[in-house]
Amino acid sequence: MTTVPIDARLAALAEPAPAGFAASVYAGWVEVDGPVGPLYVAFTDRGISYVCPTSWMGGDAGRFLEYFRGRFGRPLRPAARAPAGLSAALRSGRGTGLDYDLRSVGEFDRKVLAKTLEIPRGEVRPYAWVAREIGHPAAVRAAGSALGRNPVPILIPCHRVVRSDGATGNYGFGPQLKVDLLRAEEVDLDGIQRLGRRRAHYVGSDTTGVFCYPSCTHARRITDGHRVELANAAAAAGAGYRPCRHCRPA
């Protein structure tokens, strides 16, 4: 039996398709330059729904199309242009101005991803920060699992969430890509991990009396002579330090 492509079936309809019908059936896709290599990006009429490094598909667009249809249940067709703002978001590392179609994940995951979207380029936060910020401080592992299901990585920057000891942790497209993305954003991974080995999770300024996560933009301005290493929030509070309003440490 010969299979007729869906395009041909739709074209053979006696009546014109209703406005917006094609958008409800298909998702569009484009290939764009990412911060550390090209990306396949899929999107619907609601927003960006999936991002994948082309290398993860062996540079095979056909394989990407098959994977997307298997995971999301929708066929893809090439789009004439990328979603507005996509290239600028990839260059700047700020994806907050884009629309996302996150119907493929549950409500808890969407809360985790929305919070992760707030982490600025060049900074990292621990998994515990994400869980605490969404009001579920005990759900650290669940937050990590939600990040592992992130369908829109890089734009929703799950690579900016690391372990509390400074180790980068897991990543859906492999730990090396996570490291590459963070180094491209000039995150001082070596310095953060050295602090972690010394069991210092925060740094404070003895001039401002404020303590931060080590990658915080304010922490990076503290000169060596005024930088204080702090083991935890209790130690910081006991020494008279108050939490940074930007990075919101525990």
Active site (catalytic) residues: 158
Mutual angle of helices 140-148 and 107-116, in 10-degree steps: 90
- Give the integer Cα–Cα distance in Å for 192 and 212: 12
- Structural tokens at position 122: 């060049």
Measured CA to CA in angstroms, residue 1 lies from 35, 75, 108 at distances of: 46, 21, 45
- The number of beta carbons lying within 10 Å of the beta carbon of residue 49 is 23
- Give the integer Cα–Cα distance in Å for 222 and 216: 10
DSSP label of 239: T
- Give the integer Cα–Cα distance in Å for 93 and 157: 8
Is 39:32 a contact under the CB 8 Å cutoff? yes
Is 160:116 a contact under the CB 8 Å cutoff? yes
Is 226:205 a contact under the CB 8 Å cutoff? yes
- Structural tokens at position 77: 């067709």
- Give the integer Cα–Cα distance in Å for 69 and 66: 5
Measured CA to CA in angstroms, residue 36 lies from 27, 60, 161, 169 at distances of: 25, 18, 18, 19
